[in-house]
Structure 1
């Protein structure tokens, strides 16, 4: 069973978030940052944006940041976290 991405919520993480070191979600392209202290802390792995900003960006245009838009894909049916 896959685990939810902290940014888009899709079930794309192969292991729990705490164990998914540097895993990149194919749906939103958020790189999991296990050292992130909270959703409002800038992430070195994600161009200095916060998780909350990445979530807002995903809702707005479908990627954690505009530069990653060419790399994302829609979630597969089994990845949708309803």
Structure 2
């Protein structure tokens, strides 16, 4: 699933404004910047995400800071954030 509409809400993983709706409503939305698949079913940042092959949101954030994707195998699917996606 690719970003079709202007993002107004931050991705819970990379923080860029790529979600078209609040994260609580962005079911299975995949961020084009970090490739995190939004998981509305995890209760904490340390809970493994079934949507993201068992990595936690905390791990996804650390991975994004280290190499630019929520997981190394997702590097081929990510892109740089667009100017309008930077948080204000």
Normalising by structure 1, report the TM-score: 0.97
Q: Runs of 5+ in structure 2 lacking a partner?
A: 1-6
- Residue 43 of structure 2 corresponds to which residue in structure 1? 37
Normalising by structure 2, report the TM-score: 0.91
Alpha-carbon RMSD across the aligned residues, in angstroms, is 0.9
Q: Runs of 5+ in structure 1 lacking a partner?
A: none
Select the structure that is richer in helix.
1
SS at match of 1:36: coil
- Residue 75 of structure 2 corresponds to which residue in structure 1? 69
Q: Which consecutive aligned stretches of 4+ in structure 1 deviate over 3 angstroms post-superposition?
A: none
Distance apart, 1:81 and its partner CA: 1.4
Q: Count the aligned residue pairs.
A: 82
